[in-house]
Amino acid sequence: MNHEKTNILTIRTPEGILFSLRLSGPVNRFLAWIVDLAAIVAISTIVRSLLGIFGLISGDFAMAASILAYFVVSIGYSIVMEWRWRGQTLGKRLFNLRVMDEQGLHLRFSQIVIRNLLRFVDSLPAFYLVGGLSCLISRRAQRLGDVAANTIVVWNPAIPEPDLDQILTDKYNSFRKYPHIEARLRQRVSPQQAGIALQALLRRDELDPVARIELFTSIASHFRRIVEFPQEAIDGISDEQYVRNITDALFRTQPGLLKR
Amino acid sequence: MIIDLKKFIVTERQYWSELELVLDKLAKDPEHKADLEAIKRFHYLYQRTSADLGKIMTFSSEPEIRRYLESLVGRAYGEIHETREKAHRLAPGRWFFHTFPQTFRMHVRAFYLVLVIMVAGCIFGGLAISLDPDSKEDLMPFPQLRVDPEERVAREESVDKDRLHGGKASFSSYLMTHNTKVSIFAMALGMTWGIGTAVLLFSNGVMLGAVVLDYILAGQTEFLFGWLLPHGAVEIPAILLAGQAGMVLAGALIGRGGSVPLTRRLREISGDLVTLISGVAIMLVWAGFIEAFFSQYHEPVIPSEVKTAGGCGIRILLTLFLWKSGRHNML
C-alpha cells in the first residue's frame, strides 16, 4: 500500500477489483463545518424557544432545560446525523462529503461517537487548527478524531450515468468507405487521444457555443495531421462531425477483429 | 483485452441502473430490510458491476464510465462486505449493569495509572498549600475556592434562607454539562499519547489536594467532608474513568511491543471508549443533581454527619458496582 500522502484512497475488493475514493481536504471540511455550526445554532434557538414555555411554570427549570438542550444538540447533532444519514451531516451533504470507514466498510456507531467526541481536541486552540493541521499532515487527510475512529472523509460527488446514447448512435460515417485509412488511424492514435475525442463528444452539450466550435476545430486539426482522408470523405462536414466520425472509427469493432 | 464498447454498454447498463436504484433505496431508507431474493439479486448486481469495472479498467479511453462504475462498486462494497459483528439491539439495563462495569475492569490497569497520577497531584497540591499558603491563588483558579475556609464556613452556616432558591436546576445542569465536557476532553487528550490526559488529571489533583489541605489546616475537616463527599464520591471517580478512557486510547496508539497494526488496535477499543465515556456521562448527571440539590446545604439545614455518611454510602455502592456488577458474566 502507498504510504505517501495522497488525495486518493484505493481499495481492493476480495474479488480483486480496485476502486478509488477521493479524500476530502481540510477546506471543504471546514466549509461543511460552518454550515453544520449554523444548523446547530438554528436547532438550538428553536429548541430554546420551545422550552421557553416551561418558563411559565419555573424560570429556573426553563434555564436548566435550555442549558441541557444546547449541550445535547451541540454534541449530538453530528452523531445523530452521521448515523441516520450514513456518514453525512447537512454541511457534508451540501459539499458532497461523506464519512466512511477507512476500509470502505459500514460505519459503526462507536466510530461515529469517537470521531465526534474527539472534536474537543481537534478544535483546539480555535477554528479546528489542530484538526486542520492533522488533516494536512495525515496521508489520508484525517483529523485526530478520524485517526482514532478509523474513519476517512471522502469527496463523493453524485456521479450520474454517462450519456451512453452518445456512444451508441449509429449514424452514417463517410470514413467507413476507407477501411485501410481507418486501420492506420487506429494504429497511430493513442488511447489517451481517443479518450479526448470521446470525452469531447460526451460533454459537448455542456460547452458554450464558441468554446464548442474552438474545441472541435482543435481536435479535428490534430487528427487531420495524423491521417488524411480523401477530399470526398470530408467534403461538407463540420469539425464536430469529423471528430464524431474519427471516434466512431476508433471505437467501432471491426468484423473479424480478434477479441482476446 | 479488447472489448466491443457498444455491445458491452448495451448489455450491461441495465444492471448498472438496477444496482444504482438499489443503492439509492438503501441510502434513503437505511433501516430497510430486504428479503433473501432481493439480497441475492443485490449481490449478483454488485459482482456483475465489479466485473464490468475490471473490464473497463483495461479500456483507458473510457474514464467517465469507469468513474461511474467505481462509484457504484464503492457504494455497494460497504454494504456487501461488512463482516464485523453487527451491533446488538439496545438493552440499556444490561449495558449499564454488565457491559459498563465489565469494560471498566477489563481496562483496570489504565484506571490504576490515572489514580496514581491524580493522587500524585493531590499530594503535590497539599504540600504546596501547606508549605506556601501564598500559592493559593495559583493553585485554585476559581475565586470561590480562594475564600478563607473559616470565613466561608461561618457564612454558610449562618444563612437563614435558601441562597440557591430558584437556581438549583440551572446550577445542576451547568455542573452536568461542564463536567461532561471536561471528561470528554480528558478522554480525547488520549490522542496526545496520554500526556494531555495525565496533565489534566494531575492539575485536577493539585487543585483538589490544595483545597482539602486548606480546609484541614483551618480545622474545617468536618465541613469539608460534608461539602465534598456527597457529589465528589461520584464526580471524582467519573473524572478518573474519563482519564482511564484516555489512557486506553493512548495505549492503543502506542501499542508497545505488539505486532497488531494501529488501525486494528484502535478498532478493538472503540466500543470500550464509547462505553466508558457514556458511563461517565451518567455518573456526572447523578453528581450534578447531588451537588446542586444536596451538597450546597450545610449545618443547620443538613448536619455534616448525614452528608458525610451519605457520601460514604454512595462511594461504597459505586465501588461495589464497578468491581462486582456483571462479574458472573465475565468471559
- The answer to whether the CB atoms of A164 and B9 lie below 8 A apart is yes
Q: What is the pLDDT of residues B197-215, one digit of tens each?
A: 999 999 999 999 999 999 9
Q: Which residue of A has its CA nearest to B184?
A: A117
Q: Tell me the C-alpha to C-alpha distance, in Å, between residue A19 and each of A9, A225, B70.
A: 8, 37, 5
What separation in angstroms does the CA of B193 have from each of A8, A138, B109, B188, B264? 28, 17, 16, 10, 17
Q: Any idea where the domains of chain A sit in the sequence?
A: 8-155, 165-251
pLDDT top residue among B58 and B173: B173
**pLDDT tens figures, B6-58:** 778 888 889 999 999 998 888 777 667 778 899 899 999 999 999 888 887 76
pLDDT of residue B31: 64
Q: In the Cβ-directed half-sphere of A7, how many Cα atoms lie within 13 Å?
A: 8
Q: Which residue has the higher pLDDT, A15 or B30?
A: A15
pLDDT band at B120 (very low <50, low <70, confident <90, very high): very high
Mutate which of A109, A110, A154, A223 to test chain B, going by most B C-beta atoms within 10 A?
A110
Which of A76-80, B130-134, B257-261, B287-291 holds the top average pLDDT? Answer: A76-80
Q: What was the pLDDT predicted at B278? A: 96
* B19/chain A closest Cα distance in angstroms: 12
B49, amino acid identity:
T
Angle between helical axes of B63-80 and B5-28 (0-180°, round to 10): 40
CB pairs under 8 A between A and B: 180
Is B122 in the A-facing interface, judged by CB distances under 8 Å? Answer: no
Mean of pLDDT values over A131-158? 90
Identify the pLDDT of residue B147: 82
Degrees to nearest 5, angle at CA A97 with A96 and A99: 150
Residue A1 has pLDDT above 50, yes or no: no
**Residue B20 touches chain A, beta carbons under 8 Å:** yes
What's residue B330's pLDDT? Answer: 47
| Grid coordinates given for A8 | 486518493
Spatial separation of the C-alpha atoms in residues B58 and B66, rounded to whole Å? 10
- More confident call, A86 vs A4: A86
* Chain A residues lying within 8 Å of B173, measured CB to CB: 63-65, 67-68, 71
Mean pLDDT of chain B: 87
- Among A12-26, A90-104, B92-106, B292-306, name the one with the lowest average pLDDT: B292-306
Q: How many CB atoms lie within 10 A of CB A179?
A: 11
Does residue A257 carry a pLDDT above 50?
Answer: no
Contacts of A114 in chain B (CB under 8 A): 270, 273-274
Residue A9 host element (H or E): strand A8-12
User: What is the biggest distance separating any 2 CA atoms in chain B, rounded to whole angstroms?
Assistant: 95
Flag if B61 and A191 touch (Cβ within 8 Å).
yes
User: Who wins on pLDDT, A207 or A149?
Assistant: A149
Q: Which of the residues B45, B59, B62 would you substitute to probe the A interface, choosing the one with the greatest number of A C-beta atoms within 10 Å?
A: B62
- Dihedral pair phi/psi, residue A91, rounded to 5°: -65, -45
Residue A25, SS3 per DSSP: coil
Cell 453544520 appears where? A36
Grid cell locating A97:
462529503
Contact B111, B104 (CB under 8 A): yes
Confidence of residue B140 (pLDDT cuts 50, 70, 90): confident
Would an 8 Å CB–CB cutoff place B168 in contact with chain A? yes
Long-range CB pairs of A237-245 (<8 Å, 24+ gap) are A237/A174, A239/A213, A240/A204, A240/A212, A240/A213, A240/A216, A242/A216, A243/A197, A243/A200, A243/A201, A243/A216, A243/A219, A244/A171, A244/A173, A244/A201, A245/A173, A245/A174, A245/A175
Distance from the Cα of A84 to chain B's closest Cα (Å) equals 7
Tell which residue, B22, B70, B28, has the closest CA to residue B42. Answer: B22
Which of A93-107, B95-109, B176-190, B238-252 shows the lowest per-residue confidence on average (mean pLDDT)? A93-107
Poorest-confidence range of A74-83, A174-183, B44-53? A174-183
Q: Which amino acid is at B294?
A: F
Look up residue B201 and give its three cell numbers. Answer: 488529571
Measure the CA–CA gap between A108 and A150, rounded to whole angstroms.
10
pLDDT digits (tens, 9 = 90+) for B221-246: 988 998 899 999 999 999 999 999 99
Regarding predicted confidence, which is higher, B142 or A196? A196
**Are A259 and B270 in contact (CB < 8 Å)?**
no
